[in-house]
Amino acid sequence: MSDNSSNGDRPIIPGQVASWLGILAFVFVAIFVIAYAYVAFSPKTNSDIDRRLAEKALRADTESKAQGLISTAGLNSDGTYRVPVDTAMSLIAADSDLLVKMRSYAAPGPSAPQPVALKGDAPKVADEEVMKRGLAVYSRTCVACHQPTGKGLPPVFPPLAEAPIVNDDPTLSIKFILHGLMGPITVAGTTYNSMMPPVAGLSDQDISDVTTYVRASFGNNSSPVSVEQVKAVREANASRNTPWTTAELGLK
């Protein structure tokens, strides 16, 4: 053994103590590793988990909205995007990369977006401008439940894609958007029994745009909806302040 020499001076840290210090270091490293692993992998309190899930859902939602907005359908003819200001602000605040993406999509040039001319009579086929505005409204208000794909989230949120209730009479869709819908309803073989809240703050123009967009997207191929149709439905139900029920409308 190295520390067996009895006639020489003992070193400042004798060999046995040096070994002991090494073992101490090993013990502390082991404790640190286990503690770190525990802290990193242990489940947290329920509220923590809820908050994390909510954040995750919010991120996914933001991502899907952003995808909807920066796709070519949301692009104006001059290369700018149709994004409502508040939505854009919140989206950019939530996702710092979004600004970069949008800039990369955007064509260079200082030209301001052309104001969209509102037309009293809607054409038979939805024009590009209406579709863009419809997508913007959809991405702002409908996408959370009915999803960017329009396929919903069975069995909680029904699909809009190829659903007869969406494609037949536009009056129904307008009613749902204005006042909401309650009660059981079967879409594509799945029975849904949740509540659609009324979508507050949409103008007649917005509603006509979004219904037009939905009726011409996700595999749907139905006629556009005019502002007048929306206005008529709104006026006919001006005194209504409760959601529609499926029983009332004779829906199944």
Partner 1 sequence: MSQDNYRQLHSSKSDTGSSLPVRLFFASALGWLIISSVLGLIVSLKLQQPSFMSGCEWFTYGRLEILQRNAFTYGWIANAIFGVNLWIMSALARFQFKDTWLAVLGWLGWNLALTFGLGAILLGHINGYALLEMPKEVAPALFISFLFAALWPAVAFVRRPTGHVFVSQWYIIGASFVFPVAFAITQLFVIWYPASGVLQALIHSWFIQNIQLLWIGSSAIAASYYLLSKESGRMISAYYLSTVGFWTYFLFAGWTAPATLLGGPIPVWIQSTGVTAMLMMLLPVIVLGINFFGTLSYNRGFSGAWNNTTLRFVLVGIASFLLSSVLNIIFSTRSLNAIVRFTDFTVGLQQFVNYGFVSMVIFGAAYYILPRVTGKFWPSAKLVHLHFWSSTIGGLGLALYLIICGYPAGQTALVSYYIPVIGFVLLQCVGHVAFAINSLVMLFASPRTPHDNTHA
Judged by the rule CB under 8 A, the positions of this chain that interact with partner 1 are 1, 3-4, 14-17, 19-20, 22-24, 26-27, 30-31, 34-35, 38, 42-45
Provide, rounded to whole angstroms, the least separation between the CB of residue 33 and partner 1: 10
CB of 52 to partner 1, least distance (A): 14
DSSP string, 67-88: HHHHSGGGB-TTS-B---HHHH
Q: Vertex 160, ends 98 and 88: CA angle to 5°?
A: 20
Summary count for the chain: helices (H), strands (E): 11, 4
The Cα–Cα gap between 128 and 111 comes to: 20
Least separation in angstroms between residue 40's CB and partner 1 is: 13
Element (H or E) spanning 181, and its range?
A: strand 181-182
| Min CB(66)–partner 1 separation in Å | 35
Comparison of 35 and 107: residue with beta carbon closer to partner 1: 35
Q: Which residue, 27 or 58, has its beta carbon nearer to partner 1?
A: 27
Residue among 28 and 228 whose Cβ is closer to partner 1: 28
7 vs 235: CA distance, rounded Å: 110
- Which residue, 1 or 200, has its beta carbon nearer to partner 1? 1
